[in-house]
């Protein structure tokens, strides 16, 4: 069974630009969550989608947005990039039907560098 895939693996952008990251969940999984990982703040939850609906959201500014498609694939978008947005962005998928006890399986991440 294929794991969670994320594209691209690496991105370099400049301040003010916008970026779109993509995530394909494990087959059969309907929930996709996004996390930001930085050396200073650690792993922080961005948002979670289930059946094309955002079910949960972390404490990030509105520049961070996401969506989910009918095939459960998800994208996240960051507009007006700032230097502080440089991070590893991780996507995780789960069945989404067991509430808080669901196991999330992570992709390899997209390394975003903002210059």
Partner 1 sequence: AQSVAQPEDQVNVAEGNPLTVKCTYSVSGNPYLFWYVQYPNRGLQFLLKYITGDNLVKGSYGFEAEFNKSQTSFHLKKPSALVSDSALYFCAVSALSGGYNKLIFGAGTRLAVHP
Binding pattern for the stretch 60-89 against partner 1, x by CB under 8 A and - elsewhere = ------------------------------
Figure out which of the listed residues 19, 26, 87, 90 binds partner 1, where binding follows CB under 8 A. 90
| Residue 97 φ then ψ, to 5° | -115, 0
How far is the C-alpha of 71 from the C-alpha of 27, rounded, in Å? 9
Q: Cα-Cα-Cα-Cα dihedral of 78, 12, 44, 7, to 10°?
A: 80
CB of residue 80 vs partner 1: minimum separation in angstroms?
25
Shorter beta-carbon distance to partner 1: residue 79 or 86: 86
Figure out which of the listed residues 56, 71, 80, 113 binds partner 1, where binding follows CB under 8 A. 56
Shorter beta-carbon distance to partner 1: residue 79 or 105: 105
Tell me if 41 sits within 8 A of 88, measured CB to CB: no
**Residue 19: closest CA among 78, 86, 89, 85:** 78
Q: Which stretch binds partner 1 (CB under 8 A): 13-21, 42-50, 61-69, 72-80?
A: 42-50
Q: What is the DSSP letter of 98?
A: S
């Amino acid at each position: 069974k294929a794991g969670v895939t994320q594209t691209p693996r690496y991105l370099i952008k400049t301040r003010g630009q916008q970026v779109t990251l993509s995530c394909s969940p494990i087959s059969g999984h309907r929930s996709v969550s996004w996390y930001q990982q930085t050396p200073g703040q650690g792993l922080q939850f961005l948002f979670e989608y289930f059946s094309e609906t955002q079910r949960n959201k972390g404490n990030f500014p509105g520049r961070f947005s996401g969506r989910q498609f009918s095939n459960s694939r998800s994208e996240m978008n960051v507009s007006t990039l700032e230097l502080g947005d440089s991070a590893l962005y991780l996507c995780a998928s789960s069945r989404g039907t067991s509430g808080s006890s669901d196991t999330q399986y992570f992709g390899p991440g997209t390394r975003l560098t903002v210059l």
